[in-house]
Amino acid sequence: MLKLTSRVFAATMLLFLFALSSITFADPVLETLVDQALTSNPEIKVSEARWQMFAAKVRQAGTLDDPMLMLRIQNAMIKDPLAFDGDPMTSKVIGISQMIPFYGKRSLMREEAELEALSNRWVLEERKVELRQMVKETWYQLYFVDRSLEVVNRNIALLDDLSRFSETMYGVGQGLQQDVLKAQLDRSRMEDMRIVLQQKRRTLAATLNTLAYRPAETEVALIPAVELTPFEMTAADLEALAEVNRPVLKALAAKIDKTRVNRLLAEKEFYPDFTLSLEYMQREPAMASPGDDMYSLGVSFNLPLQRERRHAMVAESQAEQQMAAADLNMQHNQIRLGIADALARLERSRKLAMLYRDGILPQAGNALEAAMAAYRVGKADFMNVLDSQMRQFNYEREYYDAVADHEMQLAQLEGVVGTALPVAEK
């Protein structure tokens, strides 16, 4: 009996010390994993290559088309096609032409390409924000699983002691067989939970390794203790932070500017493009003609008569601009919702964790001690002891669940505002 009492007391005290311990807020291993994911993850590489692709298009946009070189034999006689002195109209012609867009089109094309590249750059940054959030959420899920495994292992050891104790009491006629069976059943349930948690840990570890672009079987060490991170920002503060830092807002703003440029380009289609040409004609003396060389200089341009098509192009760009503006407003709305929801969940998990840490867990420990003491002197049955033990087990897991949920909500808030959150003083 003394052995059992000391084990229960030690387990209870260990829980309290562990829950109240002070730790570092930014775990260096977690930060290393985040950095590795941001530099090595293939999805980041894809987004980065896409941005570089559009950046390369900027150098192409607005440049003139290649000039056209023309070589021609003009007015040659069919009966003697290589006789260039048979007729004074026969000439050898070389010419060059260049198409020149209407004034302002080239600069608008360059601006459009620059804005497209800028939008894709912010898409890359948004993907980094999402990946950082995914790594942190997986990390804290692993933390909950590791703490749950610790609690399960500790409870299995305690149930083993309780089972042996109940067998001893039954052997001397002071206990019931159902007490022995109930202790064994609860122990088997704990073993089942341990198997499930071990499988879940392997899956989460593989997910974390995949995010960091490491072999899936790379060992992930036990996640260290986590304490509630102090946080005092308001919804208004977070919305202001998101307005400055959230990459998706900057991407959509660049997209809106791009649609504005598209509309200006569509309006420029009502004006013609020009083609300048210069030809030199070399002639041979023929039929008393001195065969003076000649040249021709000309300009041609398209006639923008298909105005209905051009009006449709303008309407298309206007609709695209309206759609982009609505998309930006929708994103602002989603950010406000995400902040409000995360703050509500954050407050809930913080209050729950503090309630378990400061109230329920100490009370559950005292209840377990009282049940053990009453059972030793024959004033309580064994079922009360088991029920008290299982309640403490559930409360411990719920405490760690609340802590993990609190930190995951902070990670989600970081994803919503697009940057790391300032940590309040303890």
Could you tell me the mean pLDDT of each successive run of 10 residues in the chain, 426 residues long?
43 42 59 93 94 93 93 87 82 94 94 95 96 96 95 84 66 61 78 93 95 92 90 93 95 96 94 95 85 91 92 94 95 96 95 93 86 73 77 91 95 94 67
- Assess whether 162 and 261 both reside in one domain: yes
Same-domain pairing of 108 and 204: yes
pLDDT of residue 254: 96
Does 113 lie in the same domain as 83?
Answer: no
For 51: left if phi > 0, alpha if psi spans -120 to 50, otherwise beta; the answer is alpha
The pLDDT value given to residue 17 = 40
Is 136 inside a domain boundary?
A: yes
Q: Looking at 280, 303, 326, which one is the last position of a domain? A: 303
Does any domain span residue 207?
Answer: yes
Question: CA dihedral in degrees (154, 157, 161, 164; nearest 10)?
Answer: 150
CATH number at residue 232: 1.20.1600.10
Task: Give CA separation, 123 vs 127, 244, 310, 364, in Å.
Answer: 6, 15, 31, 50
Establish if 422 belongs to a structural domain. no
Residues 371 and 312 grouped into a single domain: yes
Q: 346 and 243, same structural domain?
A: yes
How far, in Å, CA of 86 to CA of 73, rounded? Answer: 13
Q: So what's the pLDDT on residue 222? A: 92
Structural domains in the chain (count): 2
Domain that holds residue 85: 66-100+271-303
Find the helix packing angle between 247-268 and 105-171, rounded to 10°.
150
Residues 236 and 212 in one domain: yes
Radius of gyration of the chain (CA): 39
Q: Is residue 426 part of a domain?
A: no
102 phi and psi, to 5 degrees?
-60, 150
Please give the model's pTM, rounded to 2 decimal places: 0.82
86 and 34 assigned to the same domain: no
3-state secondary structure 132-168: HHHHHHHHHHHHHHHHHHHHHHHHHHHHHHHHHHHHH
Question: Is the CB of residue 94 less than 8 Å from the CB of residue 70?
Answer: yes
Contact 283, 91 (CB under 8 A): yes
Q: Could you tell me if 323 and 341 lie in one domain? A: yes
Residue 184 has what pLDDT? 75
Asked if residue 134 and residue 46 are part of one domain, the reply reads yes
Q: How far apart are CA 123 and CA 128, in angstroms?
A: 9
Same domain, 154 and 204: yes
Query: Does 284 share its domain with 171?
Result: no
Whether 106 and 197 map to the same domain: the answer is yes
- Rounded CA-CA distance 285/417 in Å is 82
* Per-residue confidence (pLDDT) for residue 178, from 0 to 100: 66
Locate 273 and state its tokens.
């493009």
Burial of 276 (0-12, 13-18, 19+ CB in 10 A): middle
CA-CA distance, 77 to 92, in Å (whole number)?
13
Helices (H), 21-87: 28-40, 42-60
Residue 366: how many CB atoms within 10 A of its CB? Answer: 12
